[in-house]
Copies of this chain bind each other. A is one copy, B any other.
Amino acid sequence: MTVKQLSLPELVDACVRLGVRGVGLWREPVAAYGLDAAAKLVRGAGLEVTSLCRGGFLTAIDAAERSVALADNRAAVDEAAVLGTDTLVLVSGGLPAGSKDLAGARERVAEALSSLAPYAAPRGVRLAIEPLHPMFASDRCVVSTLDQALALASPFPSSQVGVVVDTYHVWWDDTAPAAVARAGAAGRIHAFQLADWVTPLPAGALTGRGRLGDGSIDFARWRSLVEAAGYAGPIEVELFNEELWAGDGVALLEETARRFAEVLT
């Protein structure tokens, strides 16, 4: 999603040339290119698919809507398996229209996990719950903190359900370092993602993520935290940014790889 402007073949080509060894994919461009063709393209180039984004949106109250959401999540699990990634990122979904009940919405996410985790496990796919920044609590993700994500994950084996640590979403939270330690000790850090926090936020808040080093986040510290917690997996960069998407994708990927090395050391 960092270089949304690139086609899958362009992305794969640029990753290979830059020595980027893995890539997180999103479902929509994969579906547009064709699932099997995408799997063949990426794996044929020797790239690891680090994660698939995204399942989730599991907060509906209406039974028919819930059924559609669960079916869509099972499809996402299947797609992850075909792509050869063990990690499906879940964004829980926001409040249903007219509802003011965050706790109830989180309970419905828990119920959905009970149905999805046993489906995903035999397919070799872990469900990675991503807490989003609290500014998305109403319209996108009722899971706002790592503590909440861990509470949702805890009834399941860590091989089935874990969490995503995304610096953009958790950097402000002074309870997050302890949650990272607990998540790591339980083997539940399933993904580690980077984007910088920059202001002013754009209208809608979604597409204002900053390039690594442009904002307020101490990435070396967060890397130390997840590594001290035992995480040894890939580190993904996920910049949602309209301005960056409007520019040259290959140049952006090059710059991102350079900044990645700078900010993490």
Q: Which residues of A contact B (CB under 8 A)?
A: 95, 99-103, 106, 133-135, 137-139, 144-145, 147-148, 171-175, 197, 199-205, 215-218
Contacts of A203 in B (CB 8 A): 200-203
Q: How far is the CA of A174 from the CA of B205 in the complex (A)?
A: 22
Contacts of A102 in B (CB 8 A): 172, 174
Q: How far is the CA of A233 from the CA of B89 in the complex (A)?
A: 45
21 contacts between A and B (CB under 8 A): A100-B218, A102-B172, A102-B174, A103-B174, A106-B174, A133-B134, A133-B135, A134-B172, A135-B205, A137-B171, A137-B197, A138-B197, A138-B199, A138-B215, A138-B216, A144-B172, A145-B174, A147-B175, A148-B174, A200-B205, A201-B201
Question: Which 10 pairs from chain A and chain B are nearest by CB?
Answer: A137-B172, A100-B218, A138-B216, A135-B135, A203-B203, A134-B172, A200-B204, A139-B199, A201-B205, A134-B134
**Apart from A137-B171, A137-B172, A199-B204, what are 8 other A-B pairs with CB-CB below 8 Å?**
A135-B135, A138-B199, A139-B200, A148-B174, A200-B204, A200-B205, A201-B201, A201-B205
A241 CB → nearest B CB, Å? 14
Contacts of A103 in B (CB 8 A): 174
Main secondary structure of the interface of A (DSSP, over half): loop
Q: Is A217's CB under 8 angstroms from B173's CB? A: no
A22 CB → nearest B CB, Å? 27
Q: Residue of B at shortest CB range from A138?
A: B216
Q: How far is the CA of A200 from the CA of B137 in the complex (A)?
A: 12
Q: How far is the CA of A197 from the CA of B202 in the complex (A)?
A: 17
